[in-house]
């Protein structure tokens, strides 16, 4: 054998050995992959072949106390495309059509032109199986018989786009009542979690736990049967039952809105209705409300503020457009949203004014500073010490403080009914620093109430050390410290129910989808803060504040013994927008009814009423709305009216419903059904009643129904007359003038029911010379616009405050 041959054999052997070694390494690697690292590489393969979809848990419903749904989940869909599947389908086409254009045109036809470019752009990501086009499309969106979802499903089916266009079922939060109770119910964010209100406080109960679905797909995005496909079911959230009553909430929302509009309140209005014997919240409102189904849109009240800010700061681009990219614009917009969403009676501390005299009175009676509220030998003297005729005055530590009026000599009960500052300065100094501060704490003002709502604010009160003589005097009549609305109604509610301080709450039960109770909350007693005897005494006096014609008289409701205390406070130290705080007012009222067995305690506040709209006192910007609230909710709460003889003589009657009646039937049977009512004025030539004025359910002065029935809406709109000016006229004259013009009359105000012959109109609901449909109702006001609830004039501002 030659040398060359040997070299060849050696080289071949080496190559063979190398190949063998490589083969052995490969075999060993395969062995490792298939044995020791099998799970790791299998997972990688599965991840490349599978997709994971979240199965959203259904969020629990929120109900009112009577089972009405306040918040629920509504079926919606996410529209998704598969760029990879669209590209593959396009490669298989034998015609000249472009697959991306087909999909883009179909989707934009149903969702809007702007979605054409979105589909085209997202289709460029050809390595992706999923790209989102639009989220949360409601199942019932669109017009006509077919919803957008129906049309999309039809489009997918007709063009066989099953693996290219997907509708992924999900859910969105839906609020059936829109803006009703918006601040107490709250809303959810894009991730489905609660951001405000009950939605946030009880998010851990409402939310549930999401599941997931793992689906196997081939390289082109087509679903295929695969052993590793799995499904983990979602666990739905629990349903929450609240203490809210929808009907009471509606009434409170309406009155807050009316006060906002009628007073021009620059810092909103708000209110609370509480159940006396439990502390349960029946209603809570802030106006303006916002649409819970569209919470990220500023309501007009705030949009106007934003527009004014833009003008004031000249936030415009060179083209004259609003500069929405400006930092100033963005900061202001965010601040306005934060204010719009804020639950005012929970978060905002305010100066309570004379409504706090209820609490000072309870302290004085409990401490025996006053033993006989009506004693003639224990008098408080309210006279002027500086010669002014505007009001009485009293000195404390060298500071002269004034009352809103000269009350001369009066007993304690008269001092409370007159809302006399001089009386309460004397009471505060009589109670003393130690007892006053201790009682202030005992009534819950130095702590949060612990209500089950987010963002509860704190009081701002003098420290014990900082509570000097002047601070004690001013605090006694409700000035120069701040408390929240929820703190105040909780404390006053204790006086209403006999002395028990309850922790306020909004949710009493939560149940899972199987009906099992997972959470329950009973009324929580915090402590006893006053004796039953003291509370009974104050309930009687506060009812006299209304029925006796004192500061609460504009809360008067015929047939019901409403008790109330109004208040007007100066916002000392809260200067803003170029207005001094002492020139800004808060008008408020605390009320409960019926006084002998209360079923509701209510708080109402109007923050910064605009003087251009009229009086800024609590007796005019708060009390009349409390009156309307009580007038509506007391009958609803099954409280039977008990009328006095004078009330019976001046009662109003409810207008029947005639819509749908035929003219023939009306002419035959009207006198039979309504013998004491004049036959109505019929306008039009139709055979049936299409509309009526006044509307069915309206209350008008008894015996004065001026009924107009219309056979068409166009005839109704054409039959108008100008409203006369009847302000300053007697009740009888004003009513007759309006009747003669073709209108109906409803009335509001204690003086009308007390003595109709002496009652004088102080205002009317429709401005003079307004064109109004004949038969419409004009409300006449017999309120007394005075300053009985004002805190008077003083300038001292305390220091050394503590947040409590």
Looking at residue 2, its pLDDT comes to: 58
Biggest CA-to-CA distance, the chain:
148
Q: Are 101 and 159 in contact (CB under 8 A)?
A: no
Looking at residue 290, its pLDDT comes to: 97
For 520-579, write each residue's pLDDT tens digit.
999 999 999 999 999 999 999 999 999 888 889 999 999 999 999 999 998 877 777 667
Average pLDDT over residues 670-695: 90
Percentage of residues in the chain having pLDDT higher than 90: 54
Please give the DSSP secondary-structure letter assigned to residue 320. Answer: S
The residue that leads in pLDDT, 72 or 652, is 72
Average pLDDT over residues 250-260: 96
Q: How confident is the model at residue 617 (pLDDT cuts 50, 70, 90)?
A: very high
Average pLDDT over residues 670-691: 90
Q: Which residues of 194-231 are buried (b: 16+ CB within 10 A; e: fewer)?
A: bbbbbbbbbbebbbbeebeebbbbeebbeeeeeeeeee
Average pLDDT over residues 214-221: 60
Handedness of CA 694, 699, 703, 704 (dihedral sign): negative
Determine the number of helices (DSSP H) and then strands (DSSP E) in the chain.
27, 35
Q: How confident is the model at residue 796 (pLDDT cuts 50, 70, 90)?
A: very low
Looking at residue 46, its pLDDT comes to: 47
Name the residue among 542, 448, 527, 437 with its Cα closest to residue 496: 542
Average pLDDT over residues 451-474: 96
For 140-187, write each residue's pLDDT tens digit.
755 555 788 888 899 999 888 888 898 888 888 999 999 999 999 999
3-state secondary structure of 189: coil
Q: Which of 54-63, 441-450, 525-534 has the lowest mean pLDDT?
A: 54-63
Name the residue among 549, 626, 618 with its Cα closest to residue 354: 618
Q: How confident is the model at residue 793 (pLDDT cuts 50, 70, 90)?
A: very low
Rounded CA separation 739/775 (Å) = 9
Name the residue among 341, 275, 358 with its Cα closest to residue 588: 358
φ and ψ at 286, to 5 degrees? Answer: -135, 135
Does residue 8 surpass a pLDDT of 80?
A: no
Average pLDDT over residues 625-647: 91
Tell me the residue ranges of DSSP E strands in 540-660: 563-570, 585-593, 600-607, 652-654
Cβ neighbour number for residue 31 with a 10 Å cutoff: 10
Name the residue among 280, 298, 286, 275 with its Cα closest to residue 253: 286
Does residue 611 surpass a pLDDT of 80?
A: yes
Average pLDDT over residues 728-736: 89
For 375-392, write each residue's pLDDT tens digit.
877 788 888 887 766 688
Does residue 287 surpass a pLDDT of 50?
A: yes
Is the N-terminal amide bond of 362 cis, ω within 30° of 0?
A: no
Is the N-terminal amide bond of 513 cis, ω within 30° of 0?
A: no
For 465-494, write each residue's pLDDT tens digit.
999 999 999 999 999 999 999 999 999 999
3-state secondary structure of 292: coil
Distant-in-sequence, close-in-space partners of 237: CB < 8 Å, separation ≥ 6:
57, 58, 59, 60, 205, 206, 207, 208
Helix axes 421-431, 357-366, angle to 10 degrees: 40
| Entry pTM | 0.80
Question: Which tokens go with 208?
Answer: 């549930």
Does residue 351 surpass a pLDDT of 60?
A: yes
Q: Are 79 and 161 in contact (CB under 8 A)?
A: no
DSSP-derived secondary structure for 4-70: HHHHHHHHHHHHHHHHHHHHHHHHHHHHHHHTTTHHHHHHHHHHHHEEEEEEPPPPPPEE-TTS-EE
Looking at residue 338, its pLDDT comes to: 97
Alpha helices, DSSP H, located in 268-403: 300-312, 327-341, 344-347, 357-366
Distances from the Cα of 670 to the Cα of 185, 343, 608, 673, 702, angstroms: 46, 50, 50, 5, 18
For 392-419, write each residue's pLDDT tens digit.
888 889 898 888 888 888 999 999 999 9
pLDDT, mean over the chain: 87
The residue that leads in pLDDT, 271 or 86, is 271
Looking at residue 341, its pLDDT comes to: 98
Question: Which tokens go with 543?
Answer: 């009812």
Whose tokens are 């009512």? That residue is 677
Rounded CA separation 804/797 (Å) = 18
DSSP-derived secondary structure for 212-269: EEEEEB-TTS-B---TT-EEE--BPPPEEEES--HHHHHHHHHHHHHHHHHHT-TT-E
Q: Which of 127-131, 186-190, 485-489 has the lowest mean pLDDT?
A: 127-131
Distances from the Cα of 589 to the Cα of 466, 555, 592, angstroms: 28, 9, 10
Does residue 798 surpass a pLDDT of 90?
A: no
Question: Which tokens go with 608?
Answer: 């910064």
Looking at residue 650, its pLDDT comes to: 74
Q: Terminal CA-to-CA distance of the chain, rounded, Å?
A: 109
The residue that leads in pLDDT, 494 or 374, is 494
Radius of gyration, CA atoms only, the chain: 36
The residue that leads in pLDDT, 235 or 141, is 235
């Amino acid at each position: 054998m030659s040398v060359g041959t040997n070299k060849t054999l050696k080289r071949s052997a080496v190559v063979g050995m190398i190949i063998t070694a490589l083969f052995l390494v490969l075999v060993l690697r395969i062995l490792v992959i298939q044995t020791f690292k099998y799970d790791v590489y299998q997972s990688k393969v599965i991840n490349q072949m599978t997709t994971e979809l979240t199965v959203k848990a259904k969020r629990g419903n929120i109900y009112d106390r009577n089972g009405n749904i306040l918040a629920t989940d509504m079926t919606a869909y996410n529209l998704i495309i598969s760029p990879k599947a669209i590209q593959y389908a396009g490669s298989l086409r034998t015609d000249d059509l472009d697959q991306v254009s087909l999909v883009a045109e179909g989707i934009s036809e149903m969702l809007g032109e702007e979605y054409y470019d979105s589909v085209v752009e997202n289709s460029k990501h050809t390595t992706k199986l999923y790209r989102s086009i639009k989220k949360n499309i409601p199942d019932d969106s669109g017009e006509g018989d077919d919803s957008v979802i129906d049309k999309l499903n039809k489009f997918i089916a007709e063009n066989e786009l099953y693996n290219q266009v997907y509708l992924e079922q999900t859910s969105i939060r839906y609020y059936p009542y829109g803006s009703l109770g918006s601040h107490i119910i709250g809303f959810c964010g894009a991730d489905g979690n609660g951001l405000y209100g009950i939605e946030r406080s009880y998010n851990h109960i409402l939310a549930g736990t999401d599941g997931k679905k793992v689906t196997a797909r081939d390289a082109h995005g087509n679903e295929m049967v695969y052993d590793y496909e799995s499904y983990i079911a979602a666990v739905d959230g629990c349903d929450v039952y609240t203490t809210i009553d929808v009907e009471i909430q509606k009434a409170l929302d309406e009155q807050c809105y009316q006060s906002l509009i009628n007073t021009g309140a620059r810092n909103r209005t708000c209110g609370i209705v509480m159940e006396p014997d439990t502390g349960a919240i029946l209603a809570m409102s802030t106006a303006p409300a916002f649409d819970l189904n569209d919470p990220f849109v500023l309501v007009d009240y705030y949009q106007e503020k934003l527009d004014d800010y833009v003008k004031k700061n000249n936030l415009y681009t060179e083209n004259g457009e609003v500069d929405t990219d400006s930092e100033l614009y963005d900061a202001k917009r965010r601040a306005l949203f934060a204010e719009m969403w804020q639950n005012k009676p929970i978060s905002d501390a305010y100066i309570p004014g004379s409504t706090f005299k209820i609490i000072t009175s309870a302290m004085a009676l409990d401490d025996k500073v006053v033993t006989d509220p009506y004693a003639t030998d224990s008098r408080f003297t309210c006279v002027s010490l500086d010669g002014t005729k505007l009001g009485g005055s009293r000195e404390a530590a060298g500071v002269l403080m004034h009352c809103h009026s000269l009350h001369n000599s009066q007993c304690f009960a008269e001092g409370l009914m007159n809302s006399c500052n001089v009386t309460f300065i004397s009471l505060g100094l009589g109670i003393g620093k130690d007892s006053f501060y201790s009682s202030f704490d005992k009534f819950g003002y130095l702590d949060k109430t612990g209500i089950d709502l987010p963002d509860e604010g704190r009081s701002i009160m003098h420290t014990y050390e900082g509570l000097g003589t002047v601070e004690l005097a001013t605090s006694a009549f409700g000035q120069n410290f701040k408390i929240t609305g929820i703190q105040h109604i909780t404390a006053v509610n204790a006086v209403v129910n006999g002395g028990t301080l309850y922790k306020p709450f909004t949710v009493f039960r939560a149940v899972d989808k199987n009906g099992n109770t997972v959470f329950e909350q009973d009324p929580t007693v915090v402590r006893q803060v006053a004796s039953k005897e003291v509370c009974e005494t104050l309930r009687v006096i506060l009812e006299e504040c209304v029925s006796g014609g004192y500061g609460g008289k504009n809360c008067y409701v015929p047939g019901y013994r409403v008790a109330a205390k109004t208040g007007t406070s100066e916002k000392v130290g809260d200067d803003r927008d170029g207005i001094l705080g002492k020139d800004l007012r808060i008008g408020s009222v605390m009320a409960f009814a019926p006084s002998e067995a209360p079923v509701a305690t209510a708080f109402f506040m109007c923050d910064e009423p605009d003087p251009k709209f009229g009086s800024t006192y609590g007796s005019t910007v708060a009390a009349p709305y409390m009156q309307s609230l009580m007038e509506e909710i007391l009958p609803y709460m099954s409280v039977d009216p008990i009328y006095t003889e004078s009330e019976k003589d001046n009662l109003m009657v409810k207008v029947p419903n005639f819509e749908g009646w035929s003219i023939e039937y009306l002419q035959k049977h009207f006198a039979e059904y309504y013998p004491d009512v004049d036959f109505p004025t019929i306008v039009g030539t139709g055979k049936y009643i299409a509309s009526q004025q006044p509307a069915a359910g309206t209350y008008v002065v008894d015996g004065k129904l001026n009924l107009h029935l219309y056979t068409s809406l166009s005839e109704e709109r054409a039959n108008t007359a100008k409203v006369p000016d009847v302000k300053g006229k007697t009740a009888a004259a004003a009513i007759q003038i309006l009747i003669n013009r073709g209108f109906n009359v409803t009335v509001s105000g204690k003086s009308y029911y007390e003595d109709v012959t002496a009652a004088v109109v102080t205002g009317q609901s429709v401005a003079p010379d307004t064109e109004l449909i004949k038969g419409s109702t004009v409300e006449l006001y017999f309120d007394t616009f005075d300053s009985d609830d004002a805190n008077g004039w003083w300038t001292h501002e305390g220091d050394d405050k503590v947040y409590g």
